[in-house]
Amino acid sequence: MKPTSRAVSWAFLVFSLFHLPLWALSNAQDVEFKIEKAPNWVTPKQLEQKLSLAKLRKPAHYHLVDVQKHVATQSQYRRYVYSVSDPSGISDYSDISIRFNPAFEKLTIHTINIVRGGKIVSRVEKSDIKIINAEDDRSNNIYSGEMTAVTLLKGVQLGDTIDYAYSLAGQNPVFSGNFASFEWLGWRTQVDQINVEVISPKSRNIHYQVYGTAQTVSVTQQEDNLLYRLNISNSQKVFEEDNVPSWHKTYPYVQFSEYANWQQVATWASALFTVNSQPSEQYLNLIKELKKQPQKQAIEKAINYVQDEIRYLGLELAENSHKPHTPNEVIANKYGDCKDKSLLLVELLKELGVKANVALVSSYKSKMLNTYLPAHNVFNHAIVKLEYNDNKYWIDPTISLQGFKLENKYQPNYSYALLIEHNSTNNDSVQLVDATPSQPLKGTVNIKETVKAIDYVSPVEWIIVSHFTGVEAEDMRYKVNNSGLDSIQKQYLNYYAKTFPKISKLSALKASDDIKNNHYTLTEHYLVPDFWTINQTASEFALNADYTENFIYQPDTIIRSQPLYIPPRVQVEHRVTFILPEDIDFSSSVTEDVLEDKHVRFVSNLSYDRRHLTYSNQLHSKTDHVNPEDVADYLSLLKKIEDHKTYYGEITNVTQESSMLAMQKLASRLNKMRAKNSPPTQLYEGR
């Protein structure tokens, strides 16, 4: 099921794990809730005629989803009615969870009934409901203070109908009473009736937008209120396909917002990001240190300080879901979430004379953000826009280990941003701005393998030099720092062993980090006894240049109605150079195949140069998605690309070499003699 819509806080990108600060959590046992009837403003909905078990959809049949919101009292009412029609339905749908934030919301449960044969057979009492901490973002270092009221229903039988309703009163004060709401109009299951209502005083102008359904919002007057209503009968089941870009609107929805334009959202946010406190001594000392550097280095140092020395931790309790902690607090605590870090960085940059703004973005809606109504709940993240030497940089202060130089840091593409500008609050022209970074590529991966054969039978030396830049370097740096080289070595070795079970390492995996330029290099060195496949007339070999596969997604859903995600702005090259024992003419095998469409360009090349036989595959992604109508052609292209991942070759006449046996014997002795701690061989990375 799609989860209940909740206000999303501006913190989601997490790059490290820390200890749980228990003091940050409320005590679940102290949280109050009531069981009483629904408030007067709620209009009860009548259910359709009861269906026989045979006619119920499996494993659960949703009869009603009813959401009613009361703007004046900042309250919302929710009711769900469904029948369990299958044993798996009983298993999956007999637990009820209601999420709320006791810091500003009061939970009232109206009913939790089990209905059998038209009669209520079980009513849930207060003692049946347990309140537990709902910190499910804890692993992401985000603490919201939310709770879950959990009810484990007893005695549920096949054909039973579960009918529960509750209301939440109160709104996070950080929104200053401004109303904004999203409700889904489609679920992963068919629903007989979806009802969404908003009751608002006439004096408050509510904007609305419906997406993905032909139904429209009806507006009727009820005394001093306006009732906005949307009712959908027999909503269609929504199929969520795999590898869909996050910005794609898969589910139909209705959005309500009291904001007339982005200017009003910016004005609201601007107040939250205003620093009123006097700078602390720690803050002033930091500025003093930064100012000792030339401006460019000071900028880089400020960014690195916020990214790497302020650990990521989101204490998003109550107002701090959207209101940042002050720079003084963040520096003192040495932790913060996206908005805390962004505000601190902007303040530091301003002290350095650099134009900088906090930029509100959405990691999910990204390129579709401008299609939503202006509202405070369309953003889920904050970053920093800075201008230096006529260049714009979009820096994400929650990413760590990004390298030192400003221009080499990977800048995520959030497509649109709302800039927080304190001096332009009266400017009606405030709009979302283009937040596309000027960096042409997110990152590059360059794998250069060298296979050295001493003859056509004996084990070969296999050297792999993997070079990463941009986001790929940052990912690899993070992975190595977190897991340790030894774990990665083990992982890699076992992966290769699937192809070459007798493989052994000749030297330990080596990592070389050029953090200044944000480059990362891994070097591996193996001995592969089962490289050659010997038959009566020839020695066969295979050169795998298949790293590009990591950037090509073969979806599970082939016949699609939703776009297919492609990793954007990536360039990958995988090159395997096989150094043969002697000069063998492969000129007749030399080929170059270019497979290209509007989404990707793939170049596969086999070249021969004296003793060097080189097989290489290059992939360059041109876009971030494939439209459903193009998927079939795109997948046909991927199939052709798939055919190029390995080059198979063979060398004939190997047994005619008079020294073959002597050489084989010598190679065997030498390989046995290889000292465990043999000195590192300098590996050629030039080809």
Partner 1 sequence: MTGIRLNSIKIKNTLAKHIKALIALTLCCLLSVFTTACSNTSNQPANSEPVTNNTSKILKPVQFNYLFETALNDKNWRFINKHLTNDSIVQYIRDQFPDYLPTVSTTATLKSTYSTLITNHSLEESGWYYLFSEKTEDYLISHYRVDMDSAGYVYLDFYLSPDTFHILDIKNVSTIFSSAELIIGLAQLAVSEKQKSLLPLMQATRNKDTAQIKRLWPMLSETHKNNLYLLDVMLRNIATQHTSFDNKMVMDILNRMPDSHNPPMAFEDYFIQKEDYDSALKSIDNMPLFAQQDVKLLSERATLYWLKGELELAHHYAHQALVADPYDLEAYLIFLQISIVKKDYPLAIELMDVLESRFLLTECSEVLPEIEGHQDFMQSKAYKTRNRQSKTQS
Binding site for partner 1 (CB under 8 A): 452, 454-455, 461, 538, 579-587, 589-590, 608-613, 647-654, 656-659, 662-663, 665-666, 669-670, 673-675, 678-679, 681-687
Question: Of 302 and 580, which CB lies nearer to partner 1 in the complex structure?
Answer: 580
CB of 453 to partner 1, least distance (A): 8
Find the shortest distance in angstroms from Cβ 489 to partner 1.
21
Nearer to partner 1, 239 or 684 (CB): 684
- Judged by beta carbon, residue 479 or residue 687, the one nearer partner 1 is 687
Considering only CA atoms, which of 149, 153, 182 is closest in space to residue 60? 153
Kindly state the smallest distance separating residue 7's Cβ from partner 1, in Å.
51
Task: With beta carbons less than 8 A apart as the criterion, state whether 186 and 251 touch.
Answer: yes
- Distance of alpha carbon 298 from alpha carbon 386, whole angstroms: 13
Q: Are 456 and 584 in contact (CB under 8 A)?
A: no
Nearest approach in angstroms of CB 476 to partner 1 is 22
Contact in structure between 640 and 633 (CB atoms under 8 Å):
no
Minimum distance between the CB of residue 583 and partner 1, rounded to whole angstroms? Answer: 7
Judged by beta carbon, residue 16 or residue 607, the one nearer partner 1 is 607
**Element holding 328 (H helix, E strand):** helix 327-333
CB closer to partner 1, 27 vs 536: 536
CA distances from 117 to 52, 94, 120, 158 (A): 10, 18, 8, 11
Burial class (CB in 10 A: 0-12, 13-18, 19+), 471: buried
CB of 608 to partner 1, least distance (A): 6
Smallest gap from Cβ 461 to partner 1, in A, equals: 6
Residue 17 three-state SS: coil
The residue (of 630 and 657) whose beta carbon lies closer to partner 1 is 657
Sign of the CA dihedral with 172 first, then 173, 175, and 177 last = positive
The distance of closest approach from Cβ of residue 408 to partner 1 in the complex, given in angstroms and rounded to an integer, is 20
The C-alpha atoms of residue 513 and residue 515 are separated, in whole angstroms, by 6
Give 610-671 as a 3 state SS string. CCEEEEEEEEEECCCEECHHHHHHHHHHHHHHHCCCEEEEEEECHHHCCCHHHHHHHHHHHH
Separation of alpha carbons 334 and 19, rounded Å? 14
- Rounded to whole angstroms, the Cα distance separating 516 from 194 reads 55
Nearer to partner 1, 625 or 645 (CB): 645
Whose Cβ is closer to partner 1: residue 284's or residue 590's? 590
Whether the CB-CB separation of 676 and 507 falls below 8 Å is answered with: no
* Nearest-5° Cα angle at 138, 358 to 246: 55
Query: Which lies closer to partner 1 via its Cβ, residue 309 or residue 583?
Result: 583
Minimum distance from CB of 308 to partner 1 (Å)? 29
For the bound state, the minimum distance from the C-beta of residue 396 to partner 1, rounded and expressed in Å, comes to: 32
Question: Which of residues 210 and 538 has its CB atom nearest to partner 1 in the complex?
Answer: 538
To the nearest whole angstrom, how small is the minimum distance from the Cβ of residue 523 to partner 1? 12
Asked if residues 324 and 313 have their Cβ atoms less than 8 Å apart, the reply is no
Residue closer to partner 1 by CB (options 218, 681) is: 681
| Cβ–Cβ under 8 Å, residues 127 and 150 | no
- Rounded CA gap, 509 and 500, in Å? 18
Count CA atoms closer than 13 A to 464's CA, side-chain side: 23
